[in-house]
Chain A
Amino acid sequence: DARVTQTPRHKVTEMGQEVTMRCQPILGHNTVFWYRQTMMQGLELLAYFRNRAPLDDSGMPKDRFSAEMPDATLATLKIQPSEPRDSAVYFCASGLVGQGTGYTFGSGTRLTVV
């Protein structure tokens, strides 16, 4: 089965450090979403792309978060500088809009900022 691959699976870092999370969407999918999940807030939409173009990143704290798709096989989410409140699980999902199919999620990156 095709899958969305996220790396790393776990990341522990010190406050103030840069964190980069990566996502490899399913080949041929044209839409990529980034979510953050916490117990308190549930799944929050951070940003999403269609055909590699950013459509909406209003859910991200702009001063420290950035999301990019340098090519069709890679999406990245960066946090600089990281803060303890950024500790969460970050999920990437991909899908093919216009084909009547749903979205497939990666296994997530569990980030802990100490």
Chain B
Amino acid sequence: KQEVTQIPAALSVPEGENLVLNCSFTDSAIYNLQWFRQDPGKGLTSLLLIQSSQREQTSGRLNASLDKSSGRSTLYIAASQPGDSATYLCAVHYNQGGKLIFGQGTELSVKP
């Protein structure tokens, strides 16, 4: 069964800290992996997309890595800010069947 797991479920940090969000997935036959951000009551905003052939992607203070062999991806947020407070979702697009499966998300709170 294709499953995606995110740890931790919730995280609270003081402003300025660097932090790492984790995503693990079963079945290494992935097409790509996408990280999203969701603010309360809002839709999903794409942050980073990593193809199966890539090891990492960067956008500003965000860096996402992918290790297919271990079934893991991490989202690194540098110098966190209160505006980074949101739920972060990892989604794996699998080759077989083409499903896009989401983890349960990590709810991040950055305190001023």
The interface of chain A, by Cβ under 8 A from chain B, is 31, 33, 35, 42-43, 45, 48, 50, 55-56, 91, 93, 97, 100-108
Contact = CB atoms under 8 A, between A and B. Distances in A.
Contact of A50 (B36, B98, B101): B98
Contacts of A48: 98-100
A12 to B, nearest CB: 16
A43 to B, nearest CB: 4
Interface of B: 31-32, 34, 36, 42-46, 49, 51, 89, 91, 93, 97-105
Nearest to B43: A107
Contact of A43 (B42, B46, B89): B89
Nearest to A100: B51
Nearest to B100: A33
Given A55-B97, A91-B43, A103 B102 contact: no
A contact patch SS:
strand
A53 to B, nearest CB: 12
A82 B13 CA distance: 42
A37 to B, nearest CB: 9
B27 to A, nearest CB: 15
Most buried by A among B43, B91, B101: B43
18 contacts: A42-B103, A45-B100, A45-B101, A48-B98, A50-B98, A55-B98, A91-B44, A93-B44, A93-B100, A97-B31, A97-B98, A101-B49, A102-B32, A103-B46, A103-B93, A105-B36, A105-B45, A107-B42
